[in-house]
Amino acid sequence: MKCIFCGFNDSKVIDSRLNDDTNSIRRRRECLKCGKRFTTYEMVESTPILVIKNDGSRQSFDPQKIKRGIIKACEKRPVSMIQIDELISDIEKQISNSLVQEVKSSKIGEMVMDRLKALDEISYVRFAAVYRKFKDITTFIKFLNDVN
């Protein structure tokens, strides 16, 4: 770490403490050249992820929007909030680990459907019915036949 007093490029850490309110680490440092002490804060850098909607518009990725849709699909089904939270967390991790800054909403929808299918088929069908926007009953019936 560069010294703020003399500009020397090396310092040693004297003390480190977690900063509870900001999820950062406070480090007390000492310059190896001039001996003066200074404080730095270390935080995890998060890159904002944008969702590309079907109409081409973009908005910030919001896991709460996904959660609301999943909760609605799982209403009156034997799916716990813990399972829903794990599903959402899994999707967030997959998107973050992909190192992309933009993701299509259709990709997120498919990720949700894949996980719901393994979790509860009725919830999966409910979510798909809203997500896929079936135009008529025959396409919906064809979809249901493909599920089996």
Chain-wide mean pLDDT for the chain?
A: 89
pLDDT score, position 22: 66
Q: Can you state the percent helix, strand and coil of the chain, rounding each to 5?
A: 45, 20, 35
pLDDT score, position 57: 96
Domain boundaries, the chain: 11-42, 50-147
pLDDT score, position 21: 67
**Overall average pLDDT of the 50-68 stretch:** 94
Determine which of 26-30, 43-47, 62-66 has the lowest per-residue pLDDT on average.
43-47
Reference 144, options 133, 130, 131, 129; nearest CA is 129
